[in-house]
Amino acid sequence: MRIHTLTALFGLLFIQAANAADPTQLMGKWVEQLRNGAAMITEFTPTTISFYAVDPSGKPNTEPKPQEVTYKDLGQTIAIEFKGGGGVMATITDRQSIVLLFPGMGSHLLTRVQP
């Protein structure tokens, strides 16, 4: 009976580890397409996050202003905490898409920008 219990526990830990959200999977550029043809670019580095808008032709409307952040793996989601306070949550849906949840602003689907 003990062997079965250990096997079951190992299997459960393996499943949880396979579904864990790894903050390194966020690194790089992501895009959220907007209804008017414009887009919002989000870029993650190991220590910062930046957001900037681009017009329908892809030309930036604003300059990126990197903000210092820390990442915390919460299992299925990643907490992204801003140095000055506040933050967002990220859920990795697959290798090419994530959902960012901004408190009070809802969720936003982003897809990875291919290099």
pLDDT tens track, the chain, 115 positions: 444 433 333 343 333 444 567 899 999 999 999 999 999 999 999 999 999 999 999 899 988 899 999 999 998 899 999 999 999 999 999 989 999 999 998 999 999 998 7
**H or E stretch covering 13:** helix 2-18
Question: Which 3-state string (H, E, C) describes 35-65?
Answer: CCCCEEEEEECCCEEEEEEECCCCCECCCCC
Domains along the chain with CATH numbers: 2-112 (2.40.128.640)
pLDDT at position 47 is 97
pLDDT at position 18 is 47
pLDDT at position 113 is 95
Tally of CB atoms within 10 A around 111: 15
Backbone φ and ψ of 64, nearest 5°: -65, 140
Tally of CB atoms within 10 A around 2: 6
